[in-house]
Every structure is written in structure tokens, then in C-alpha cells.
Amino acid sequence: MATAALSSRFDGLRFAGVAILSLVALAWSTPLLWMAIASFRPQSFGGLDMASLAPNFRPTLANYVEALDSADFAGLYLNTAIVCLGILAVQLVTITLAGYAFARLEFRGRTLFFYAFLLQLMLVPPILIVPNLVTITRLGLYDHLVAVMAPYFASAFGVFLMRQTFRTIPRDFEEAAAVEGAAWWQVVIHVLAPLARPGLVAFSIVSVVAHWNEFLWPLMVISSTENQTLTIGLASFTRGAESASQWGVIAAGTFLVAAPLLTAFALFQRQFVNSFLFSGVK
């Protein structure tokens, strides 16, 4: 009796939980849903239907045709992919090594250096635009894709994340490897990095999403159309300060920009969620 009552109350709670989560999920997905619907809506200003979520029209691809015609999307995709993967490749090396140093190596001022490193997280990126641009120009990298990537090669957040991840790994593994005669770099590559995989995956997702969506820095440092990234290409035909917006074209363009990330998420959903759970990144 008592257990039955308890379990039915538990079911009730469970149901309420699912209902609340569904509402939250709906609220979060509404913009995406609206974007998808608006991108297939014929251009019209006959009423308020632009804001409606109900697809009460004959779908059209005209918005996509116009968006694709407005910018060289193939080039934009390629540049954005190069930038995101380039940054990530370097970052994975730097954050693993720096994370290892802060987690395992004993040296004077370790804590101080680490906190100094963390201070970077407090800086608002726009205040670094001018100094970074000066450095990039002196290096002769202005208007190169490398210039878009360079400021991000070292990531304070990534170093912090890897240091914390390494510290959760028992030293026994390393000691066993050391007994076998492994050098420190072999320990990092063969022991620590594989064990820290969830942390690395979580960081990769955050990094790729952030740089995929980045607008201001690429806009500052890139001048040639052929070196533009997706966000700038999108902005060049969807932003207008002094007139009404062609919401359909904006929605189609935004969809094209977001599509690769959405697809990747759909494909690797389980892995993404798992690594966030493991690494404690929310």
C-alpha cells in the first residue's frame, strides 16, 4: 500500500518534471522553429503572418535562392571551417600542455601564474581589438585567415578546464607508466590525454561554436571578400540600418549559417551530452 502510494506520487512528480522540461524545450526551440518556417515563407507584408509560427502558406525556396545568390557560400563555409578547425587544432595542443604543467609540474609561482592566466577570462574581448590588430599588422598577417585564428591559440578557459580534468585523474596511472620508463610527453600523449577525452570534446564544442559564430574580430582583421567568414558574409546582405527587413532572406541565410552546427549536433548528440556530463561543463 504505502509503496504503491509512494510510487504513484513519484510518477506524478516525474510527469510534472517532464511537462516543465517540455515547456522549456519549446521555449528554447521557438526561435529555430520560427527561422525554419520563415525561411520558406514567401516575401509578403500583407499582415502580421510574418511573426506567426503556423506555416499557412505555400512553401517557397525563393529566399534560399536569394540568400545563396547574395554571397559565395562555398567560400564562406570553407573559410569558416579552416578558421574553426585551425584554432581548435592548435588549442588542443596548447591547452593540454599548459593544463599538464599547471596540474602536475612543480615550479615556483605556479599558483600565481595560473591565476594570472585566469585573469584573461575577465577581459572583454573588444578592448583587445586595437592592440591585437597592431600586433597582427606588425606580423604582416593582416587580411589572412591566420590573423583570425592567432589571438585564440592560447585559451584561458581551455587551460583551466584541462588543469581541472587532469587533477581528477589519479596519479597511479602516471606512476605506473613512469615505472615502465615512459617520458613525461609519453605520459601526456598515451595516458593523460585519452583519459581526459570528455574534457577535450567538451572544450572542442565550445570552441568551434564560439568561433563559428564570431563576428567582430574577423570583421576587424579581414578585408578581402574571398577571406570572409560566414557571419560577415551573412551580415553583408542582411543588415540594413534604415529600412525594413526581408525576414525571409535573413531566416534563410541564418539557416544556411547554422545548418552545419545543427547537423553536427543532431548526429553526435549523445556524445556531446555525455562529455558535458563528464566534464562538468554546463
Partner 1 sequence: MHPLTKVASATAFALALGLGSAQAATEIEMFFPVPVEGKLAKEMQSLMERFNAAHPDIKAKAVYTGSYDETNLKTHAAIKAGRPPAAVIMSANFVLEYQIADEIQPLDPLIAADGKTSDAFMDQFWPALHGNARFAGKVWGVPFHNSTPLLYFNTDHFKEVGLDPKNPPKTWAEWSDAAKKLTKREGDKTTRWGLMLPSNYDYLGWVMTALDMSNGGQYYNSEYGGEVYYDQPSMRGALTFVDNLIHRDKVMPEGETDGKAVSTAFFAGQTSMVVLSTGSLSFIRENMKSGYGVAFVPSNIRNAVAIGGASLIMPKGLSDEQRKASWELIKWLTSPAVSGGWSRFTGYFAPNKAAYDLPEMKEFLAKNPDAQVAVDQLAYARSWFATYSTVAVRKALEDEVQAVLSGKKKPLEALKAAQAKAEEIMAPYVAATAMNLPK
Residue 28 CB, nearest approach to partner 1 (Å): 23
Nearer to partner 1 among residue 138 and residue 282 (C-beta): 138
Stretch that binds partner 1, among 29-37, 43-51, 100-108, 111-119 (CB under 8 A): 43-51
Place of cell 595560473: 114
232 interacts with partner 1 by CB under 8 A: yes
168 interacts with partner 1 by CB under 8 A: no
Residue 150 CB, nearest approach to partner 1 (Å): 14
Instruction: State the amino acid at position 144 in one-letter form.
Output: H
Alpha-carbon separation of residue 223 from 142, 218, 240 (angstroms): 8, 9, 20
Nearer to partner 1 among residue 239 and residue 282 (C-beta): 239
Residue 59 CB, nearest approach to partner 1 (Å): 20
Instruction: State the amino acid at position 4 in one-letter form.
Output: A
Interaction residues for partner 1, span 116-155 (CB under 8 A): 129-130, 133-134, 136-137, 142
Stretch that binds partner 1, among 52-60, 152-160, 176-184, 217-225 (CB under 8 A): 217-225
The whole-angstrom separation of Cα 231 and Cα 261 is: 13
Please say whether the beta carbons of 226 and 75 come within 8 A: yes
Q: Which residues contact 256 (CB under 8 A, 6 or more apart)?
A: 64, 67, 68, 73, 234
The dihedral through the CA atoms of 84, 217, 228, 244 has a sign that is positive
Neighbours of 133 (CB within 10 A): 16
Interaction residues for partner 1, span 66-125 (CB under 8 A): 70
Among 244, 266, 270, 282, binds partner 1 (CB under 8 A): 244
Stretch that binds partner 1, among 23-31, 189-197, 240-248, 256-264 (CB under 8 A): 240-248
Helical H segments across the chain, by residue range:
2-39, 62-70, 73-104, 110-119, 129-138, 145-149, 156-168, 171-179, 184-187, 193-195, 197-212, 216-221, 230-238, 247-267, 269-279
Stretch that binds partner 1, among 9-17, 94-102, 233-241, 263-271 (CB under 8 A): 233-241
Residue 119 CB, nearest approach to partner 1 (Å): 23
Among 85, 118, 235, 264, binds partner 1 (CB under 8 A): 235
Buried b (16+ CB within 10 A) or exposed e, 183-216: eeeebbeebbbebbebbbbbbbbbbbeebbebee
219 interacts with partner 1 by CB under 8 A: yes
Nearer to partner 1 among residue 147 and residue 200 (C-beta): 147
Residue 93 CB, nearest approach to partner 1 (Å): 28
Where on the chain is the footprint of partner 1 (CB under 8 A)?
43, 45-48, 50, 70, 129-130, 133-134, 136-137, 142, 215-216, 219-220, 223-225, 228, 232, 235-237, 239-246
